[in-house]
């Protein structure tokens, strides 16, 4: 049933998903870079206070992922989204984005060779995934 009308763009489903993901992204970026000393005391336990360069790299990866995700959802993916799928993916992806930032953003170790290799692997994987989605789209 999901594949009925393969070219239905599911505008409202994808809009809800995109809106929640962008709110999660902005909240996560705020938690990564808000001034710890002057921020709200209720949110201090969620703030990310690891190495600054590491947080910048994590934020960059999150932004790259967000852009790739939006291109995939709005351009490459043309099948119909059900509401159950929309809600499930929205909750799961919001959690994953914050969890990814929390684990990496609280790490206080200085960025080294392992992280550089990780970034290169991340960029390569992002290219391979987006490139394959593009060819599937074409």
Q: So what's the pLDDT on residue 38?
A: 62
Question: If we measure between CA atoms, which residue out of 130, 21, 128 comes closest to residue 77?
Answer: 130
pTM for this prediction: 0.83
Average pLDDT rounded to a whole number, residues 125-135? 93
What count of residues does the chain have?
A: 138
Sign of the four-CA dihedral 125, 128, 131, 136: negative
Work out the pLDDT band at 26, boundaries 50, 70, 90.
very high
Rounded to 10°, the helix 113-137/52-71 angle is 10
Q: Do 97 and 27 form a contact (C-beta atoms < 8 A)?
A: no
Give residue 116's pLDDT. Answer: 93
Are 56 and 78 contacting, i.e. CB atoms less than 8 angstroms apart? no
Spatial contact of 31 and 101, defined as CB atoms under 8 Å apart = yes
Query: Could you report the per-residue pLDDT of 64-116, keeping only the tens digit for each?
Result: 999 999 999 999 988 888 999 999 999 999 999 999 888 888 888 888 899 99
Residue 40 makes CB contacts below 8 A (sequence gap 6+) with: none
Does residue 51 carry a pLDDT above 80? yes
Sketch the domain layout of the chain as residue ranges.
11-137
Q: Could you give the CA distance from residue 52 to residue 31 in angstroms, rounded to a whole number?
A: 13
């Amino acid at each position: 049933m999901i594949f009925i009308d393969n070219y239905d763009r599911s505008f409202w489903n994808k809009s809800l998903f995109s809106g929640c993901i962008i709110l999660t992204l902005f909240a996560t970026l705020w938690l990564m870079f808000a001034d710890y000393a002057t921020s709200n005391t209720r949110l201090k336990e969620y703030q990310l206070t690891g190495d600054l360069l590491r947080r910048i790299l994590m934020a960059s990866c999150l932004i790259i992922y967000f852009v790739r995700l939006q291109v995939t959802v709005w351009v490459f993916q043309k099948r119909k989204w059900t509401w159950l799928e929309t809600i499930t993916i929205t909750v799961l992806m919001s959690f994953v984005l914050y969890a990814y930032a929390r684990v990496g953003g609280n790490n206080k170790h200085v960025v080294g060779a392992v992280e550089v290799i990780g970034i290169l692997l991340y960029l390569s994987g992002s290219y391979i995934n987006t490139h394959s989605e593009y060819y599937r789209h074409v």
